Amino acid sequence: MKKVLVDLTIREVEQLNATCVLLLMTAESPLPAVLPGQFAELRIDGTPTVMLRRPISIHSFSPEKNEIGFLVQLVGDGTRWLGNLKAGDKVNTLLPLGNGFTLPTDKNANLLLVGGGVGSAPLYYLAEELKRGGYNFTLLIGARSAKDLYRRDAYEALGRVEYTTEDGTLGQKGYVTNHTVLGEKFTQIYTCGPKPMMLSVAKYARENNVPCEVSLENKMACGLGACLCCVEDTKEGHKCVCTDGPVFSIDELKW
């Protein structure tokens, strides 16, 4: 897929909770096609401690509105700069990057999407595409507490959503891997979230013989497979998360 370097203009900034914002952006010309699970590298301007672009997963994408959404967790100087942007501001962006999730070929597939906290961001666009394709899917989202879950109405508008919270403030109390929905029969799992959660999901998938794709995250520089900084140690040696991933089948990983 052809990658572009484009100045995106912020249409809307929505503060979702204390540490998370949704940035909806557009471009003067039509945005390139984007696959669920791909990401972008956003340039951070005017912040002396930040030189490198920040890799951010694509949360939503609408060719009709020519709009792309990024869900940004405010963790450091770079993401805080993004969080302070206002409508009309511009962000130089490199996209689309990475491989994306593999969509099922079987229309009767029963799919499970497991997200943890802000890590569930790319699953929203995946769910949008699955809904558009008429697939049967369940979203299972886990968080520490109900207040850490964002855009619940938007997720619920796409289909069936189940929740777990560690403090029991929403859905079933505990971790995603303890949820009773896992007693159902699924044919494919997609997951993104904190690594311990993804490891547990991968274990469940192996034990139940269900194919599973995970979206990894690590420190990146170029985003283009050139610098070889963002490697994951796979069964076939070091692979770049930015170009060989960020989505990997668990069969490729040493998990």
Partner 1 sequence: MVKTDVKIGGLNLKNPVLTASGTFGYGIEFADFVDLNKLGGFIVKGTTLNHREGNPYPRSAETPMGMLNAVGLQNKGVDYFASNIYPQLKDFDTNVIVNVSGACIEDYVACAEKVAALDKIPAIELNISCPNVKQGGMAFGVQAASAAEVVSAVRKAYPKTLIVKLSPNVTDITEIARAVEGAGADSVSLINTLLGMAIDSEKRRPLLSTITGGMSGPAVKPIALRMVWQVAKAVKIPVVGIGGITTGSDAVEFLLAGASAIEVGTANFMNPAVTGEIVDYIEDYLVRHKMNSIDELIGALEV
Binding site for partner 1 (CB under 8 A): 2-5, 43, 48-53, 94, 218-219, 221-233, 237-238, 243
Report the nearest approach of partner 1 to the CB of residue 46 (Å).
13
In the complex, minimum distance from the CB of residue 55 to partner 1, in angstroms, rounded to a whole number: 11
**H-type helices in the chain, by residue range?**
77-83, 121-132, 152-156, 195-207
Our CB check for partner 1 shows the closer of 162 and 217 to be: 217
Sequential DSSP letters for 10-77: EEEEEEEETTEEEEEEE-SSPPPP--TT-EEEEPP-S-TT--S-EEEEEEEEETTTTEEEEEEE--SH
Q: Which of residues 185 and 219 has its CB atom nearest to partner 1 in the complex?
A: 219
Looking at the Cβ atoms of 212 and 220, the one nearer to partner 1 is 220
Least separation in angstroms between residue 45's CB and partner 1 is: 11
Two structure tokens written together for 193? 């979230």
**Min. distance of Cβ 238 from partner 1 in angstroms?**
6
Residue nearer to partner 1 on the CB measure, 78 or 104: 78
Strands 39-42 and 90-97: antiparallel
- Taking Cα atoms as reference points, which of 128, 183, 190 lies closest to residue 159? 128
Residue 88 CB, shortest distance to partner 1, in Å, is 23
- 88 or 237: CB nearest partner 1: 237
Q: Which is nearest to 59 in space by CA: 49, 69, 74?
A: 69
